[in-house]
A and B are shown apart, each in its own frame.
Chain A
Amino acid sequence: NAGVTQTPKFQVLKTGQSMTLQCAQDMNHEYMSWYRQDPGMGLRLIHYSVGAGITDQGEVPNGYNVSRSTTEDFPLRLLSAAPSQTSVYFCASSTGVSTEAFFGQGTRLTVV
């Protein structure tokens, strides 16, 4: 059972660099989302998608882009990394009928 797979697990970027965090799920879930987790702040929603071709902004979307060309994949792009984007990023999916979210193992990103 793969579930939700995130890559890479760890990443260090220099300020101004760009990168894509990958997320794939094999459960045929319609709903996918990206969160960032910072100490003392819980998880905050960055972007989400209710199905292929449809994306929308969450609470903290600035500095991030997403696309959803297939049901399985939901990559998160950082166009110009900033130290404020240092965080642990989680991708999650759910059926769209149930609100139970299945999370990946996270990507720990450090921007120096």
Chain B
Amino acid sequence: TQLLEQSPQFLSIQEGENLTVYCNSSSVFSSLQWYRQEPGEGPVLLVTVVTGGEVKKLKRLTFQFGDARKDSSLHITAAQTGDTGLYLCAGVYQTGANNLFFGTGTRLTVIP
């Protein structure tokens, strides 16, 4: 079983604060994805990173892929209540394969 750890597991912050969520593995990823999941819904893709060192921005969200392609981070600037949800990273370990291995998740609560 591929092990993909996320930290922190829970995060509660005030609206307007910044935060970073981490996703780490001992294995090298072919690519890595970040999903957000709302209660009662399935995960929805936010971004895919493929190249080591890659940085992608999605409005206030910044995603970084580690140089060695073993880790990733998600940084949210000036969090809003609409950012509340479960954030999941998912790794693809083999080029050409579609099997996703998910991290344990970070449950974010943004307090108004």
**CB within 8 Å: A-B pair count:** 63
Does B42 lie within 8 Å of A92, measured CB to CB? yes
User: In the complex, which of the residues B42, B43, B101 has the most CB atoms of chain A within 10 Å of its own CB atom?
Assistant: B42
Interface residues of A in 59-89 (CB under 8 A from B): 59
Residue pair A43, B98 in contact (C-beta under 8 Å): no
Number of residues in A with C-beta < 8 Å to the partner? 25
Chain A residues with Cβ below 8 Å from B102 are 35, 42-44
B25: CB under 8 A from chain A? no
Per-residue CB contact flags for chain B residues 89-112 toward chain A (1 = under 8 Å, else 0) read 010100000111111110000000
- What B residues does A50 contact at CB under 8 A? 98
Binding site for A on B (CB under 8 A): 1, 4, 6, 9, 31, 33, 40-45, 48, 88, 90, 92, 98-105
B9 touches A42 (CB 8 A): no
Q: Is the CB of A48 within 8 A of B40?
A: no
CB <8 Å contact, A99 and B98: yes
Contact present for A59 and B31 (CB under 8 Å):
no
Smallest CB separation, A109 vs chain B (Å): 14
Cα separation A100 to B103 with both chains bound (whole Å): 16
Query: A101 near B100 (CB under 8 angstroms)?
Result: yes
The interface residues of chain B lying within 8 Å CB-to-CB of A35 are 102
Cα distance A45–B102 in the bound complex, in angstroms: 9
Contact A99 B48 (CB under 8 A): yes
Is the pair B42, A106 in contact by a Cβ cutoff of 8 Å?
yes
Chain A hits for B103, CB < 8 A: 42
Tell whether, in the assembled complex, residue B98 and residue A94 are in contact, meaning their CB atoms are under 8 Å apart.
yes
Pair A58/B99 contact, Cβ less than 8 Å:
yes
7 sampled A-B residue pairs with Cβ under 8 A: A45-B101, A90-B42, A90-B43, A101-B98, A103-B42, A106-B40, A106-B41
